[in-house]
Amino acid sequence: MTHQTFEIIERSPTVAEHKFLWESVGWGHVNIEMTEQSLANSVYAVVALCDGDIVGMGRIVGDGAMYFYIQDVAVRPEYQGSGLGKMIMDQLLAFIKRRRHKNGIAFIGLFAASGKERFYEQYGFKDHSPEMTGMFTVLDN
C-alpha cells in the first residue's frame, strides 16, 4: 500500500457518510431517521478523509462527564491496517481525557466487532468476565 495522508476532522459524519461507512464494514443496513437523531445526540465525533473522500469515523455517546461509550469506529476495508483506526481512537480518547471530570474517573465502554478485540486491547480495553459481564438487549418491533 502506498503512503496515504488522512485528515481527521472533529465533526459528526453526515447521515449519508454514516450509512456508507456502516454498510461498507458489513454492519448491515441503517434506518436513516434513527441515524439522524442518534448522530445529533453524540457527545463527540470525528470523520477521516483521504483525498476528500470519507474513509473512517468514530464517535462518543454518554453523559460527557463520567460515562463515555465509544461507538461506530469504522474504517473502510481498503484502508484497514493503515493506522487510520489508531488515529481515530487516539482522537476519541484525547477528547475523553480533556472532557472527563477533572477529579474523577472516566468509565469508557465499547463493543468490538468479532476479530477486532486485539486492536482495542492496546488501549487497555479488556474482557472482564467472569467477574463482570457486558450485556445488552435490542428492542425492535
Active site residues: 120
Cβ-based neighbours of 36, under 8 Å, separated by 6 or more: 15
CB of 61 within 8 A of CB of 19? Answer: no
71 burial type by CB count under 10 A (0-12 exposed, 13-18 middle, 19+ buried): buried
What does the radius of gyration of the chain's CA atoms come to, in whole angstroms?
15
Cβ-based neighbours of 25, under 8 Å, separated by 6 or more: 74, 75, 76, 77, 113
